Amino acid sequence: MEFQEQWNYYVTLTESMLKVQMEQSEAPSILQDGMTYSLFAGGKRLRPVICLGSCEMLGGSATEALKAACAIEMIHTYSLIHDDLPAMDDDDLRRGKPSNHKVFGEANAILAGDGLLSLAMQLVSQVENKKAYQAVAKGAVEMVYGQSLDLNGKPDAETLFKTHEKKTGALLKAAVLAGAYTANAEQRQIDILSSFSDHFGLLFQITDDILDITGTREQLGKSVGKDERDDKVTFVTLYGLDAAKSEAVHVSEAAIMDLDRLDEDTSFLRGIVGKVLNRSF
Ligand code: GRG
Q: At what angle do helices 267-278 and 3-24 cross, to 10 degrees?
A: 80
Of the candidate ranges 57-61, 80-84, 195-199, 237-241, the one whose mean pLDDT is the lowest:
237-241
Protein residue with least CA distance to atom 26, ligand 1: 43
Taking the CB of residue 29, how many other CB atoms lie within 10 A of it? 7
Residues having CB within 6 Å of any atom of ligand 1: 43-44, 46, 79-80, 82-83, 95, 143-144, 147, 167-168, 208
**CA–centroid distance, residue 167 to ligand 1 (Å):** 8
Average pLDDT over residues 192-218: 92
* Residues counted in the chain: 281
Average pLDDT over residues 215-230: 74
pTM of the model: 0.96
SS3 190: helix
pLDDT value for 280? 66
What is the spatial distance between Cα 155 and Cα 237, in angstroms, rounded to a whole number? 11
pLDDT in tens, 21-36: 999 999 999 999 999 9
Q: How confident is the model at residue 158 (pLDDT cuts 50, 70, 90)?
A: confident
Average pLDDT over residues 158-185: 95
Average pLDDT over residues 168-181: 98
- Per the DSSP assignment, residues forming a β-bridge with 93 are 98
